[in-house]
Chain A
């Protein structure tokens, strides 16, 4: 099996879709965060794939972007967790189906 760009893109798309599926269908708030992380990882993979198969691979642009994205993902995961803890402290549940105060 030759490593072509399409293969990487398919994998990243698949990862993205799994992440989306997780974010959309899990009841627990932490699992939604996991899904979001997966989507971010898939986007990272996309960046690295396009950098690897670009005409000038010596420039470290793709890697830089990936590193920044990972850092941002980490920060965002921290914030997300803080939100989940705050919500748990108030509503005593992590089931997002029960968090419908904005219903109207």
Chain B
């Protein structure tokens, strides 16, 4: 067991190492790349199962392994990893869903030129995500968090030749970065207040009683700053704008990252640092938790409304993800931490299933993504249809047999008991109806009715793509076995309580409420869209019945409530102005300064050269000229005539004689 804990780091390390190996392979070695990635994921899954087993034995199991990374002065930075039910359950979900998506990608990306690069990035992402869930230090979590963000950027913009994909990747990275700024400030504040970033450290960790005591009132602000990061990554309002654009990436990417795992990281983070949020709770309510609830509710309802008016099959699912994440945040906020995490795990499975099913539909319709151009795929793609139907029922919350239903009931249950307000509960009820409504709409448009332009020559996907669908559908169904109120094993596992099965608990008032809501939603959808897709194949896509009934509202929802345009005019315009000012400063002020120094140097050079040329050289020239003149003069006296010399001697002697005579 201690071997397991000391080597827990292998679980993220193996996929990361394999991604580096795949990156060094040539583009033609596709089979090796896919095989390596899948083998790495299988090893990670096996390891995750192996790590899961000890956590089943004792309730409230927690094993940590901390060590000092480096010291500076007398302080030391310690990091480590932790194995507890939350981490183990997340690891299982990530590894299993990841494996299904890897296998699916072998079929989906078969025609792509950059097959090997895709698997390298997928493997890298899985390694980073596994690192996020086992981190025991907020800093280590942040490091892997950023790696996950990087993997998301690389995968959204995977088709580098598409400018829309590059723009979407940039938008995702920058929007999550804004959240991460708040996250980092929270980390700094936490370190400053409590002196440690480790979660569990034999009582001294920041989530344990001693560490929490040092925080005091600042826990609210730290929690809210950390929630900024979670809101960015999990697409909460107002940082949700990147998620629908992220559908520019290939469908397996949307399934893995934007349905099952990366967006779950934000919810996971809130659950992980829950003691910070719930410090000083009065009756289970704190200011930070209240903020979480209201943002979650806003997100859930807003995204569900927008989803009704979307026409792209993946956008509907993207907004559905945003809505479900809002639901999970609400659950965490009202105190149902275990319920929220259970919904997260279930959502991971059925959302991945839905996205992969959408991928199968897109593949079958030869890359058509508009649902108004599909139809009648029920008979052409039966396996896809059945698995998609399972996913749809799980998402809508059909109780008893489908995992999403039980978890949603739990969440509604917790929301109904929130002391602060009942409004979130009612808004969530509306959200449930809307969820069922838009999913029904999507299924009717895609699978029922007459065949339209995109689905004329559709065919079922190959087995490598349908097998993962079947596996995930079975998971969605059987997972509900551990989620039902009759035997809430997973609830007990996550919270560390002992539970025993009780069939009578199966029949609860909440069961009827959720049945009624789901029935209402599905029924409304069937009635509204009953004629959808019934027109002939030759005619243009018809008007959506909602558009027909309420054109203004439909336009508002179809344009995503004009939020992107709003951001464009305000935040982006401001950033552009700042960029222009900086550019002007750089070109004229800083560069001018540098050029000024250069000019001074040049002037100095000119001055020196002039002094040298005109001063020194001229002086030397004059001197030599003078010397030459003198020489010419003197040589005039050397005539070579002896008699002249003699005459000079005689005259000189005469002068001397006269001089001596005068002296005497």
Contact for B650 among A20, A32, A102, CB less than 8 A: A20
Task: Looking at the assembled complex, report how far the CB atom of B645 sits from the nearest CB atom of chain A, in whole angstroms.
Answer: 9
Residues of A within 8 A of B639 (CB): 100, 103
- Smallest CB-CB separation from A104: which chain B residue? B638
- Smallest CB-CB separation from B647: which chain A residue? A24
Nearest first, the 3 A-B pairs at minimum CB distance are A100-B640, A103-B640, A104-B638
Does B641 make an interface contact (CB < 8 A)? yes
Task: Looking at the assembled complex, report how far the CB atom of B643 sits from the nearest CB atom of chain A, in whole angstroms.
Answer: 5
A103 to B637, CA, bound (A): 9
Q: List residues 625-664 of chain B with CB under 8 A from any CB of chain A.
A: 635, 638-643, 646-647, 650
Task: Looking at the assembled complex, report how far the CB atom of A33 sits from the nearest CB atom of chain B, in whole angstroms.
Answer: 12
Contact for B643 among A25, A101, A102, A103, CB less than 8 A: A25
A100 to B641, CA, bound (A): 6
Residues of B within 8 A of A97 (CB): 641
Candidate in B635, B638, B641 with the most chain A CB atoms within 10 angstroms: B641
Residues of A within 8 A of B635 (CB): 104
Residues of A within 8 A of B640 (CB): 99-104
- Smallest CB-CB separation from A25: which chain B residue? B643
- Smallest CB-CB separation from B638: which chain A residue? A104
Q: Footprint of A on B, CB under 8 Å? A: 635, 638-643, 646-647, 650
What are 8 contact pairs spanning A and B, CB under 8 A?
A: A23-B643, A24-B643, A32-B643, A97-B641, A99-B642, A101-B640, A103-B638, A104-B635
A104 to B640, CA, bound (A): 7
Task: Looking at the assembled complex, report how far the CB atom of A103 sits from the nearest CB atom of chain B, in whole angstroms.
Answer: 3
On whether the beta carbons of A96 and B641 are closer than 8 Å, the reply is yes
A23 to B646, CA, bound (A): 8
Residues of B within 8 A of A20 (CB): 650
Residues of A within 8 A of B642 (CB): 32, 96, 99
Residues of A within 8 A of B638 (CB): 102-104
Q: Footprint of B on A, CB under 8 Å? A: 20, 23-25, 32, 96-97, 99-104
Residues of A within 8 A of B647 (CB): 24
Residues of B within 8 A of A25 (CB): 643
Residues of B within 8 A of A101 (CB): 640
Q: A24-B643, A25-B643, A101-B640 are in contact. List 15 more A-B contacts (CB 8 A).
A: A20-B650, A24-B646, A24-B647, A24-B650, A96-B641, A97-B641, A99-B640, A100-B639, A100-B640, A100-B641, A102-B638, A102-B640, A104-B635, A104-B638, A104-B640
A101 to B639, CA, bound (A): 9
A100 to B644, CA, bound (A): 11
A104 to B479, CA, bound (A): 123
- Smallest CB-CB separation from B644: which chain A residue? A24
A96 to B639, CA, bound (A): 12
A1 to B312, CA, bound (A): 160
Task: Looking at the assembled complex, report how far the CB atom of A26 sits from the nearest CB atom of chain B, in whole angstroms.
Answer: 8
Task: Looking at the assembled complex, report how far the CB atom of B343 sits from the nearest CB atom of chain A, in whole angstroms.
Answer: 118
A97 to B643, CA, bound (A): 8
A38 to B508, CA, bound (A): 166
A96 to B638, CA, bound (A): 15
Residues of B within 8 A of A102 (CB): 638, 640
Residues of A within 8 A of B646 (CB): 23-24
Task: Looking at the assembled complex, report how far the CB atom of B649 sits from the nearest CB atom of chain A, in whole angstroms.
Answer: 10
Residues of B within 8 A of A99 (CB): 640, 642
Residues of A within 8 A of B650 (CB): 20, 24
- Smallest CB-CB separation from B641: which chain A residue? A100
A96 to B646, CA, bound (A): 12
Task: Looking at the assembled complex, report how far the CB atom of B332 sits from the nearest CB atom of chain A, in whole angstroms.
Answer: 114
Task: Looking at the assembled complex, report how far the CB atom of B656 sits from the nearest CB atom of chain A, in whole angstroms.
Answer: 15
Residues of B within 8 A of A96 (CB): 641-643
A80 to B505, CA, bound (A): 158
A104 to B634, CA, bound (A): 9
A11 to B655, CA, bound (A): 22
Task: Looking at the assembled complex, report how far the CB atom of A39 sits from the nearest CB atom of chain B, in whole angstroms.
Answer: 10
A101 to B647, CA, bound (A): 19
A71 to B498, CA, bound (A): 157
A24 to B650, CA, bound (A): 9
Task: Looking at the assembled complex, report how far the CB atom of A57 sits from the nearest CB atom of chain B, in whole angstroms.
Answer: 27
Residues of A within 8 A of B643 (CB): 23-25, 32, 96
- Smallest CB-CB separation from B631: which chain A residue? A104
Residues of B within 8 A of A100 (CB): 639-641
- Smallest CB-CB separation from A96: which chain B residue? B642
A103 to B635, CA, bound (A): 8
- Smallest CB-CB separation from B650: which chain A residue? A20
A23 to B647, CA, bound (A): 9
Residues of B within 8 A of A103 (CB): 638-640
Task: Looking at the assembled complex, report how far the CB atom of B647 sits from the nearest CB atom of chain A, in whole angstroms.
Answer: 5
Task: Looking at the assembled complex, report how far the CB atom of B75 sits from the nearest CB atom of chain A, in whole angstroms.
Answer: 92
- Smallest CB-CB separation from B639: which chain A residue? A103
A103 to B641, CA, bound (A): 8
A103 to B645, CA, bound (A): 11
A99 to B646, CA, bound (A): 14
A96 to B640, CA, bound (A): 10
Task: Looking at the assembled complex, report how far the CB atom of B317 sits from the nearest CB atom of chain A, in whole angstroms.
Answer: 111
- Smallest CB-CB separation from A26: which chain B residue? B643
Task: Looking at the assembled complex, report how far the CB atom of B629 sits from the nearest CB atom of chain A, in whole angstroms.
Answer: 16
A96 to B645, CA, bound (A): 12
Residues of B within 8 A of A24 (CB): 643, 646-647, 650
- Smallest CB-CB separation from A102: which chain B residue? B640
A102 to B645, CA, bound (A): 12
A99 to B640, CA, bound (A): 7
